[in-house]
Amino acid sequence: MSLMLNELQNKASSRIAAAQTLAQIEEVRLDLFGKKGELTNLMKSLSAMSDEERRTTGAALNQMRDHLRVSLDNKKEQLETIALNERLQKERLDLSLSPRPEMEGKIHPISQTIDELIAIFGEMGFAYAEGPDIEEDFHNFEALNIPPEHPARQSHDTFYFNESVTGRKLLRTHTSPVQIRTMLDQKPPIKIIAPGRTFRCDDDATHSPNFHQIEGLVIDKNIHMGHLQSCLLDFCRAFFQEDKLSLRFRPSFFPFTEPSAEVDIQCQKNKGSLKIGVGTDWLEILGCGMVHPKVLQNVGIDPEIYQGFAFGMGIERITMLKYNIPDLRNFYDSDARWLRHYGFSPVLLPTITGGLSS
């Protein structure tokens, strides 16, 4: 009997040692301890033995059973550890991988310029105003003293919507309707800027059907052209970061200002390169003037008591000049390479004290 037990133990021990998988270990366990397992059967046979035989065989069987259970458990644990390590290796996440550079966003130069404009004019005491892109004839033209025969009203300039019961709507052709909306809404003194989208049926190398302007409006008592000049001079020097930059005011015409002027900045043109704030050349950047008395009357402000000035500037143009961007059309191409090159950090916001651009 003990020979047979020895043989059984040796055979089971070598099967346990040879097992490579948890399934093989389970198979050995069932062969020994299952309902019809070899050890289970031997245990059952004890009842048919004599007392004497049962005592010696029983003790040997118990010892063997304990021994094999421990070996099975140890082997199982060993195989589980191996399996876990394999999984950990296979499913490893490399958390040290840094973000890919193209995931870093950039601020579009138009947004950057608008933020700079808000910072500069904000410092000068201007409030921020806005109006809708879809306008009525009244705000865009009529109240601004633009008569029906004015060329700006003709369809080659203006995008009109289909006529409706409520009147013909249009895409605003300039930010000047925000002047009207603000004056209808607020009592003087008024001091606002209004940057935003504007639209005209124009499409070539220097014109886009969708572009941006910034409007400025100041209404108060005793406002004169000197205020307009110093305001624009301070602005241009701050924006172009040129302390000695000069401006040139040329007489011009706008239906909603009288007198009106176009403003040029001082620059030096040299074989295709351009330096702003020095030299003897001039570049036009904006239109302005004293608010026409008829416009004030149109919004219920008495021109005998209040006067004011207004200006309007193309945002693309001053952005191209300041940041040396050669082609207007690239602003709207959504080309990530262009934005990576000309864009700005989303973290460093322009401020007067902290610097306008990084």
Cα 183 versus chain centre, distance:
33
Candidate list 196, 287, 308, 350; residue touching ligand PHE; CB under 6 A: 287
Among the residue ranges 10-18, 70-78, 105-113, 309-317, the one whose residues contact ligand PHE (CB under 6 A): 309-317
DSSP secondary structure, 270-336, as one string: ETTEEEETSSSEEEEEEEEEEEPHHHHHHTT--TTT-EEEEEEEEHHHHHHHHHT---GGGGGS--H
Q: Identify which of residues 180 and 267 has a Cβ nearer to ligand PHE in the complex.
A: 180
Q: Which two tokens stand for residue 284?
A: 């036009």
Q: Tell me: does residue 211 bind ligand PHE (CB under 6 A).
A: no
- Check if the beta carbon of residue 21 is closer than 8 Å to that of residue 79: yes
- Check if the beta carbon of residue 346 is closer than 8 Å to that of residue 107: yes
**What Rg, from alpha-carbon coordinates, does the chain have?**
43
Q: Identify which of residues 188 and 312 has a Cβ nearer to ligand PHE in the complex.
A: 312
Q: Identify which of residues 259 and 279 has a Cβ nearer to ligand PHE in the complex.
A: 259
Q: Tell me: does residue 139 bind ligand PHE (CB under 6 A).
A: no
Q: Tell me: does residue 140 bind ligand PHE (CB under 6 A).
A: no
Q: Tell me: does residue 310 bind ligand PHE (CB under 6 A).
A: yes
Candidate list 188, 196, 308, 312; residue touching ligand PHE; CB under 6 A: 312
Q: How far apart are CA 61 and CA 59, in angstroms?
A: 5
Maximum Cα interatomic distance, the chain, rounded to a whole number of Å? 133
CB neighbours (10 Å) of residue 115?
18
Sign of CA dihedral 321, 327, 333, 337: negative
Q: Tell me: does residue 311 bind ligand PHE (CB under 6 A).
A: yes
Q: Tell me: does residue 145 bind ligand PHE (CB under 6 A).
A: no
Q: Tell me: does residue 307 bind ligand PHE (CB under 6 A).
A: no
- Check if the beta carbon of residue 152 is closer than 8 Å to that of residue 216: no
Among the residue ranges 37-45, 117-125, 224-232, 304-312, the one whose residues contact ligand PHE (CB under 6 A): 304-312
Q: Strand 210-220 to strand 307-314: parallel, antiparallel, or no bridges (unpaired)?
A: antiparallel
Candidate list 113, 182, 257, 307; residue touching ligand PHE; CB under 6 A: 257
Q: Strand, coil or helix: what is 92?
A: coil
Minimum CB separation of residue 223 from ligand PHE in Å reads 14
| 295-302 LR contacts (CB < 8 Å, sep 24+) | 295/143, 295/144, 295/145, 295/179, 295/180, 295/256, 296/183, 296/219, 298/142, 298/143, 298/144, 298/145, 298/180, 299/143, 299/180, 299/183, 299/184, 300/184, 301/183, 301/188, 301/219
How many residues line the site for ligand PHE (CB under 6 A)?
A: 10
Q: Tell me: does residue 289 bind ligand PHE (CB under 6 A).
A: yes
Q: Which residue is nearest to ligand PHE (CB)?
A: 312
Contacts of 237 (CB under 8 A, 6+ apart): 243, 244, 245, 277
* Binding track, positions 170-209, relative to ligand PHE; x by CB under 6 A: ----x-x---------------------------------
Minimum CB separation of residue 117 from ligand PHE in Å reads 14
Q: Tell me: does residue 141 bind ligand PHE (CB under 6 A).
A: no
Q: Tell me: does residue 131 bind ligand PHE (CB under 6 A).
A: no
Q: Identify which of residues 131 and 289 has a Cβ nearer to ligand PHE in the complex.
A: 289
Beta bridge pairs of residue 337: none
Q: Identify which of residues 33 and 282 has a Cβ nearer to ligand PHE in the complex.
A: 282
Q: Which two tokens stand for residue 173?
A: 């052709």
Residues 215-254 that bind ligand PHE (CB under 6 A): 254
Q: Identify which of residues 265 and 310 has a Cβ nearer to ligand PHE in the complex.
A: 310
Minimum CB separation of residue 173 from ligand PHE in Å reads 7
Minimum CB separation of residue 289 from ligand PHE in Å reads 5
Q: Which residues sit at the interface with ligand PHE, rule CB under 6 A? A: 174, 176, 254, 257, 287-289, 310-312
